[in-house]
Amino acid sequence: MNPLMERRLRQLRSRVLVRSWEYRQRQHARGAWFRLRRVLTFAAEAYIVSPDDARQLVAEGRRPEPAGDEFEPPKLIVFATRERVARLRGARPVPVRLTRDLLAATCLVLVPFVTPASRGRTRRA
Amino acid sequence: MMVDSQWAFRPAGHHTPADARPPARFAWRLWAWAEAERGRERVAGCHYRPGWGDDVARWTWPTALPILVVVTFRDRLLATIRAAKPVLEAPGVMVVGSEVPNLLEPGAAATLIVSQDLDVGVPVEHHAEVKRQVAELHAFRASPEEPSVWVPREPGLLEVNFIGMDPTQDPAEAYVLDDDQLPLLVFGALSLVSPGVELDLMETRVRLPRAAGLVLEKLVTDRTGEKGERDLLVALGLLMTATPDDIDEVEIMFRRLRPELRHVVRSNLTILSLLEARPGMPDPGPHRADVAALLRRLEGEEGSDP
């Protein structure tokens, strides 16, 4: 076998092994990154807010996203409508990406995409 | 905000005349354009069986001097197709990989900036026939370093990269089909790919894969680094032209994958959703709602697990 092809094959198989190892850890700490990305995928917009504002949103009945608890320091992540976010003074919009600002934030409010089905299943937003 | 997504929550296999056409937001521009142009012949030797016409629209976030890059690259891509005709028309052969969305762009506009090669998928059961046709590739010669890559003998052409496809293979596996003349690295993920539309380009019949299989092939493959992220944006380009039927097919094929591979698909969708725009590639920003809807749809009752 051509040595280069053999090396590529070995590399491919190594990546598959690593991927399987990561998959087996999906419910453990390593899976936290997937869960954070997943939550962000469903967010049309993201805002950094103060801890007081975040706690207020929770007090109003919004459930913190469990993905936020899996980081140190923990992140309080809640979904809310854009209208509700507009009433939060000091809410700072950030791109919905794994930027330094977003990762450093301890309190995030996400505005969900609204689809026909998600309207039916959305918790209080 | 109300987002009307074609991908959201329509059970697979349930079609009504109303939702069969036209496809909604994600592909509507291309669909409407293709419908309007149906039947019109293209210039420059490109005849699209589905009836796509002359205009060259772009899907991608433009580069500083896009026209210079695009015209040159498109010319090279089409010239490569013409020069590779003997193998492209061999039984079972398909163009796979990053050039597929370039060819699916209206007028084969080829505005995606991808690597400068043409991936040619060779079914292992047709290897012998393709090998015979390789002898007719006068414009190329096998690379001494990597014999599955054929490099152009003259400027103005792209490399031709032969890749093995074995429909019986596990999508996570790979093997080498060893051969003195045309060895192939056979990628398991390409077992998800099946023949789809045929294009007439430069008097060459070019088979492309069905969109659903190629999208899943992109999403089921481990993607890391700049190349990996660009590959995900290629998947986005394919999704941008997908019809509702294609998305139904993605869902059906997704459910047949084993849990680990389903997880990889979902994971890659989350990565795709959070990618930054890159020059010369489809911008994920305007399509994030559709990616979210697709992810939601694939998860279905399964929820976020496994």
Cβ pair A9:B175 closer than 8 A: yes
pLDDT one-digit tens code per residue, B121-171: 999 999 999 999 999 999 999 998 888 999 999 889 999 999 999 999 999
Q: Taking CA atoms, what residue in A is nearest to B2? A: A114
Is B240 or A54 the better-scoring residue by pLDDT? A54
Is it the case that residue B31 has pLDDT exceeding 80?
Answer: no
Q: Residues near B225 by Cβ (< 8 Å), separated by ≥ 6?
A: none
Residue that has been written with the tokens 């900036």 in this structure: B113
Residue B293 and residue A44: Cβ atoms within 8 Å? no
Helix (H) or strand (E) holding A111: strand A107-112
Residues 228-287, chain B: which have Cβ within 8 Å of A? Answer: 260, 263-264, 266-267, 269-271, 273-276
The alpha-carbon gap from B84 to the nearest alpha carbon of chain A, in Å, equals 23
Interchain contact, A37 vs B145, CB within 8 Å: no
* E strand or H helix at B177: strand B174-177
**Which chain B residue has its CA at the smallest distance from A42's CA?**
B292
**Residue of B101, B90, B89 lying closest to B214 (CA atoms):** B101
Q: Pick from A36, A35, A84: which is nearest to A62 by CA?
A: A84
- For the cut 70, the answer to whether the pLDDT of residue A124 exceeds it is no
Asked if residue B260 lies in contact with residue B218, where contact means CB atoms within 8 angstroms, the answer is: no
Q: In what order do the strands lie in the sheet with A43-48?
A: A76-79, A107-112, A43-48, A92-94
Res B25: pLDDT: 41
Is residue B19 very low, low, confident or very high in pLDDT (cuts 50, 70, 90)?
very low
Across residues A93-115, what is the average pLDDT? 94
- Comparing alpha-carbon positions, the chain B residue that sits nearest to A18 is B222
In terms of Cβ atoms closer than 10 Å to its own Cβ (0-12, 13-18, 19+), residue B194 is middle
A5-11: average pLDDT: 86
In this complex, the residue of B172, B174, B295 whose CB is nearest that of residue A41 is B295
With cut-offs at 50, 70 and 90, classify the pLDDT of residue A46: very high
* CB of A111 less than 8 A from some CB of B: yes
Taking only the tens place, the pLDDT of each residue in B175-189 is: 999 999 999 999 999
For B52-111, the pLDDT digits (tens) are: 233 445 556 555 555 555 557 889 999 999 999 999 999 999 999 888 988 988 888 888
Decide if B159 contacts B141 (C-beta within 8 A).
no
Q: CB-based contact (8 Å) between A9 and chain B?
A: yes
Task: Please say whether the beta carbons of B109 and B56 come within 8 A.
Answer: yes
